[in-house]
Amino acid sequence: MGKEERYQKLRDIIKIYLPEDVSIDQISEESHFTEELNINSAHLVDIVLDVEDAFDITLENDDMDQMQTVKDALRIIDLKTDK
Amino acid sequence: MSRRVVITGLGVCAPNGVGLADFTAAMQNGKSGIRFQPKLEELNFGCQIAGEPLVKDNLINKYFTPLQLRGLNASGIVYGVIAGIDAWKDADLPIATKETPDWDSGIIFGTGILGVDKFRESIHLVDDKNVRRLGSTAVLQTMASGISAYLGGLLGCGNQVTTNSSACTTGTEAILMAYDRIASGKSERMLTGSCSDSGPYVWGGFDAMRILPRNYNDNPTRASRPMSASASGFVPGSGAGALVLESLDSAEARGAKIYAEVLGGATNSGGQRAAGSMTAPNNEAVQRCIEEAVQSAGIKKSDIDVINGHLTATAKDSQEIENWCTALERSGNDFPYVNSFKGLFGHCLAAAGSIESVATILQFEHAQLFGNVNCEDVHPEIAERISVSRIPTKTFAYNPKIIAKASFGFGDVNACVIFGKFND
């Protein structure tokens, strides 16, 4: 799976958690999940579970704490899937 | 300060009809919602039939966002949201704007136990040492107040938002709690009602108590037999009923359609004393509850035209009729008409009082009394106390002025509400 493909897959996961007034086009690699995309922080754990299922990886507690932005998520996914 | 309180919206998700139109037709025509449940057979239940609402996926999509539907595994929330949102829309009330809740609208929506299937899912994950996989909604779907919380967010209610729980009395009690809140001036509008989950994990305990009928698995629509000599236990059910209660001032100011008036009511407990126990009512308490309801409504005992009983189709039905006779000092031909809707959809447990109240109020709206089913053989102890002509077996045209509706629940708790035809 290439970098672009991973990014698209992650965007697809995130879009369901966006509030009504945030469109999928507002997602960029720099986006902060809660502060910029206004995703309810309670849903971060659901995004983690979806990422685990979609990429067949397991995230540790530290990974979850560090996952603040789309870029953070991609970095963690890259690390885990490259193993 | 005591203000008049009226009913301006109804919603229902019942085993014999989802939505007001289907439910009304089912009640008018005596259509049963009790069906054979293959899952209960598979699990070796004695009683393999139940009343469960048939909710299609495309209907659910109209009430929940794709995000809310993810991992949603709480049938009571689905039923309660459908009934609650329908009632709100039926009352023609707006949804609060994005920034500001409606401070004058609240919710009292009861349940017995919520999100049982979600809880089971969670238990398996926890036992597998996989607690981190529970997701963010395991709590929201299994907390009792999940139903009022979901409805509160969807509608933007800013007054009291809570859930009551008193076993099979829950739905009727919720209506009285909402009535009190509006009558005392603490709110203008309350969405009230109750819901109950479906499935083996809810109904299993009752099967184990051997209080469900076991001989009707191949004849489900005949199984629920309130007031019948051949009644052999209650058929378990599920679903939700919802009512919008509103101050008369608010209803009139916005020109709302008024279904009926809540004239008053009472709740009490028999304290599990005398004949009362965890599972049986103290008869004096039942009688007092009915009498207090009559007093609270400011009516005479002789004013009651119709009773919608608790009448679950167990050996207790005769005692309930006896209690109504004693409390109202009426019997024989002088007894009010009496019906039990459990013959058509079973005993919907925590949802019973609200679903049955919705049906009760529809009788004002359509100027009809809905007939009883499966009591062609009225129990001899009942026939001794009241004329069988007071137990209609077919729906007929009738213009009720005052209907008493009661529910009784485990824990020896009682509620009786008095509904009146609205006249200004």
Please indicate whether, in this complex, the C-beta atoms of A16 and B67 are within 8 angstroms of each other. Answer: yes
The dihedrals phi and psi of B18, each to the nearest 5 degrees, come to -105, 120
User: How does DSSP assign A48-65, residue by residue?
Assistant: HHHHHHHHT----HHHHH
Judge if B255 and B269 occupy the same domain: no
Instruction: Among B125, B132, B139, B141, pick the best mutation site for testing chain A contact (most A Cβ within 10 A).
Output: B132
The answer to whether B407 and B307 are in contact (CB under 8 A) is no
Name the minimum distance, in Å, from the CA of A18 to any CA of chain B.
9
User: Cβ–Cβ contacts within 10 Å for residue B134, how many?
Assistant: 17
Closest CA to B166 of B154, B157, B158, B177: B177
Closest CA to B153 of B68, B55, B242: B68
Name the minimum distance, in Å, from the CA of A83 to any CA of chain B.
22
Residue B1 confidence (pLDDT): 60
Chain A CB contacts of B154 below 8 Å:
none
Distance, CA of B356 to CA of B207 (rounded, Å): 23
Instruction: Among B61, B64, B65, B67, pick the best mutation site for testing chain A contact (most A Cβ within 10 A).
Output: B67
First to last CA, chain B: 19
In a domain, B355, yes or no: no
Please indicate whether, in this complex, the C-beta atoms of B70 and A45 are within 8 angstroms of each other. Answer: no
The dihedrals phi and psi of B13, each to the nearest 5 degrees, come to -135, 90
Judge if B281 and B170 occupy the same domain: no
Instruction: Among A43, A51, A58, pick the best mutation site for testing chain B contact (most B Cβ within 10 A).
Output: A43
Residue A83 confidence (pLDDT): 58
In a domain, B286, yes or no: yes
Give the tokens for residue B212. Answer: 């469900």
Judge if B55 and B129 occupy the same domain: yes
Instruction: Among A13, A44, A46, pick the best mutation site for testing chain B contact (most B Cβ within 10 A).
Output: A46
User: Cβ–Cβ contacts within 10 Å for residue B186, how many?
Assistant: 14
In which residue are the tokens 């009690």 written? Answer: B173
Closest CA to A36 of A22, A16, A53, A51: A22
Angle between helices B146-155 and B75-90 (to 10 degrees): 40
- The tally of domains found in chain A comes to 1
In a domain, B82, yes or no: yes
Q: What is the CA radius of gyration of chain B?
A: 20
The answer to whether B20 and B10 are in contact (CB under 8 A) is yes
Chain A CB contacts of B66 below 8 Å:
16
- The CATH code of the domain that includes B94 is 3.40.47.10
Judge if B224 and B316 occupy the same domain: no
Please indicate whether, in this complex, the C-beta atoms of B136 and A43 are within 8 angstroms of each other. Answer: yes
3-state SS, residue B194: strand
Residue B331 confidence (pLDDT): 98
Please indicate whether, in this complex, the C-beta atoms of B136 and A16 are within 8 angstroms of each other. Answer: no
Scanning B332-375, the segments in alpha helix (DSSP H) are: 342-345, 352-366
Please indicate whether, in this complex, the C-beta atoms of B136 and A46 are within 8 angstroms of each other. Answer: yes
- The CATH code of the domain that includes A18 is 1.10.1200.10
Binning chain A into helix, strand and coil, the percentages to the nearest 5 are 60, 0, 35
Judge if B292 and B235 occupy the same domain: no
Distance, CA of B417 to CA of B265 (rounded, Å): 4
Question: Greatest CA separation found in chain A?
Answer: 38
Please indicate whether, in this complex, the C-beta atoms of A49 and B133 are within 8 angstroms of each other. Answer: yes
- pLDDT digit string (tens) for chain B, length 424 residues: 689 999 999 999 999 999 999 999 999 999 999 999 999 999 999 999 999 999 999 999 999 999 999 999 999 999 999 999 999 999 999 999 999 999 999 999 999 999 999 999 999 999 999 999 999 999 999 999 999 999 999 999 999 999 999 999 999 999 999 999 999 999 999 999 999 999 999 999 999 999 999 999 999 999 999 999 999 999 999 999 999 999 999 999 999 999 999 999 999 999 999 999 999 999 999 999 999 999 999 999 999 999 999 999 998 999 999 999 999 999 999 999 999 999 999 999 999 999 999 999 999 999 999 999 999 999 999 999 999 999 999 999 999 999 999 999 999 999 999 999 999 8
Judge if B190 and B275 occupy the same domain: no
Please report the number of interchain residue pairs, chain A to chain B, with beta-carbon separation below 8 angstroms. Answer: 17
| Strand-pair partners of B12 | B241
Chain A CB contacts of B132 below 8 Å:
45
- Chain A residues with CB within 8 Å of chain B CB: 16-17, 42-43, 45-46, 49
Judge if B303 and B215 occupy the same domain: no
Judge if B53 and B89 occupy the same domain: yes
Residue B151 confidence (pLDDT): 98
- The chain B residue lying nearest A15, using CA atoms, is B67
In a domain, B171, yes or no: yes
pTM of model > 0.95 = yes
Judge if B276 and B201 occupy the same domain: no
The answer to whether B157 and B148 are in contact (CB under 8 A) is no
Domain that holds residue B329: 264-338+368-416
Judge if B218 and B329 occupy the same domain: no
The dihedrals phi and psi of B49, each to the nearest 5 degrees, come to -125, 155
- The chain A residue lying nearest B69, using CA atoms, is A16
- The tally of domains found in chain B comes to 2
Distance, CA of B186 to CA of B356 (rounded, Å): 26
Name the minimum distance, in Å, from the CA of B131 to any CA of chain A.
12
Chain A CB contacts of B135 below 8 Å:
45-46, 49
Chain B CB contacts of A24 below 8 Å:
none
The answer to whether B60 and B130 are in contact (CB under 8 A) is no
In a domain, B167, yes or no: yes
The answer to whether B359 and B17 are in contact (CB under 8 A) is no
User: How does DSSP assign B82-93, residue by residue?
Assistant: HHHHHHHHHTTP
Name the minimum distance, in Å, from the CA of A59 to any CA of chain B.
10
Chain A CB contacts of B68 below 8 Å:
none
Name the minimum distance, in Å, from the CA of A40 to any CA of chain B.
10
Q: Which residues contact B81 (CB under 8 A, 6 or more apart)?
A: B63, B64, B147, B150, B151, B154
For B66, the closest of A16, A42, A45 (CB atoms) is A16
Instruction: Among A16, A24, A59, pick the best mutation site for testing chain B contact (most B Cβ within 10 A).
Output: A16
Name the minimum distance, in Å, from the CA of A22 to any CA of chain B.
14
Residue B411 confidence (pLDDT): 98
pLDDT at A82 over 90: no
Domain that holds residue A72: 3-82
Burial of A77 (0-12, 13-18, 19+ CB in 10 A): buried
Judge if B223 and B303 occupy the same domain: no
In which residue are the tokens 């136990």 written? Answer: B113
Please indicate whether, in this complex, the C-beta atoms of A45 and B66 are within 8 angstroms of each other. Answer: no
Q: Of B260, B290, B317, which marks where a domain is finished?
A: B260
Name the minimum distance, in Å, from the CA of A79 to any CA of chain B.
21
3-state SS, residue B387: coil
Residue A64 confidence (pLDDT): 86
In a domain, B423, yes or no: no
What Cα–Cα distance (Å) separates residue B199 from each residue in A1, B352, B379? 43, 16, 31
Chain A CB contacts of B70 below 8 Å:
16, 46
Residue B285 confidence (pLDDT): 98
Chain A CB contacts of B136 below 8 Å:
42-43, 45-46
3-state SS, residue B222: helix
In a domain, B345, yes or no: no
